[in-house]
Structure 1
Amino acid sequence: MMLFLMDVWDSVRGFMATGGDVLWLVAVVLFLMWVLMLERFWYLNWIAPKQHLAIIASWEAREETTSWYAHRIREAWVSQAKQDMNARMLMIKTLVALCPMIGLLGTVTGMITVFDVMAVQGTSNARMMAAGISQATMPTMAGMVAALSGVFFSTRLDAKMRISLERLKDSLPHH
């Protein structure tokens, strides 16, 4: 098992080395994005249902649910639940949008490396230029893959939040 982990770590280090320093920035943003998405997933599946049950119980415990005042209370509770569910979604969406931009930063820095090699060594040193081209393409690819995974799962989280909020609204009848 330890040998397997060492092989995996060597593979990751090799991949990160071919992509340059910008690839580490993509990895940090990706890690942060996934931590936030997992936290939202955990919240939606374990915390929000309990909070919604408490809101429903409070609504059902009210003697009067038909007045204008009662409707405003209902709207406030639903609004608070929506705000709690959307707590870190803006940050997640920002990180998703940032991933391709960081990948493009890697493209620019890799191409600067290529041009630097061309200026110093001339165009005849293909091996030196290949390192710069690798530094240009790897972060771009990694940024796009990170963004795609983030788009997919953040869209799923949004849909799950909308469904959960609609169920809460349906559970709070107002006549």
Structure 2
Amino acid sequence: MLTLIGLWESVREFIATGGDVLYFVAAALFLMWVLMIERYWYLSAVFPKVRKQIIADWDARKDTTSWYAHRIRDAWISRASDNLQARLLIIRTLVAMCPLIGLLGTVTGMINVFETMSTQGTGNARLMAAGISMATIPTMAGMVAALSGLFFSSRLEAKAKMHKESLIDSLPHH
């Protein structure tokens, strides 16, 4: 219990030092990871069952060689591919947005530095340092968030592509 309270206090201090923009970075990071976990669950637990059903439906068909049968096969593959690719674009967009949100924090922090300089002069280094922290911490947080998502999102895309190719190979067309 004490470690959770200590962790919460550390997070609050970090956000206080980095500014309110960190809430937006955290929201984007949370949404990105929820979507990535959902995609991993779909690729690992749901799609194998869908794949098995598509293969069973194809094998149960009497006609697998006509033009019409090939269009049905293509439609099934297309529908499965759409389901495999679902939300991957949103994940990639969130990965790309995280550093940009961090840069918004940089701009906000630098505005605070300039406001401090205009009202207090350059003699108050402590107030200027607080603004500089507000300028650098969100950038770092946005970059870390993007890097955490970049690896896993590329992994998801590769896994989705592999599942699609495997499905195509499992549906022979004569």
Q: TM-score, normalised by structure 1?
A: 0.98
The match for 2:170 is 171
The match for 2:128 is 129
The match for 1:17 is 16
Structure 2: state its 5+ residue gaps: none
The match for 1:42 is 41
Amino acid corresponding to residue 158 of structure 1 in structure 2: E
Post-superposition Cα deviations, 1:114-172, rounded to whole Å, max 9, x if no partner, equal: 00000000001000000000000000000011111111110000000011111111110
The match for 1:119 is 118
TM-fit CA distance, 1:61: 0.1
TM-fit CA distance, 1:87: 1.0
Amino acid corresponding to residue 162 of structure 1 in structure 2: K
Secondary structure in 1 matching 2:65? coil
Structure 2: distance between partners of 1:85 and 1:169:
13
Amino acid corresponding to residue 58 of structure 2 in structure 1: W
Post-superposition Cα deviations, 1:90-115, rounded to whole Å, max 9, x if no partner, equal: 11111111101100000000000000
Structure 1: state its 5+ residue gaps: none
Q: TM-score, normalised by structure 2?
A: 0.99
1:82 aligns with 2:101: no
Amino acid corresponding to residue 130 of structure 2 in structure 1: A
Structure 2: distance between partners of 1:16 and 1:53:
48
Structure 2: distance between partners of 1:3 and 1:161:
42
Amino acid corresponding to residue 52 of structure 1 in structure 2: R
The match for 2:25 is 26
- How many residue pairs are counted as aligned between the two chains? 174
1:4 aligns with 2:3: yes
Amino acid corresponding to residue 118 of structure 1 in structure 2: M
What fraction of aligned residue pairs are identical, expressed as a percent? Answer: 67
Amino acid corresponding to residue 105 of structure 2 in structure 1: G
- Runs (4+) of structure 1 exceeding 2 A deviation are none
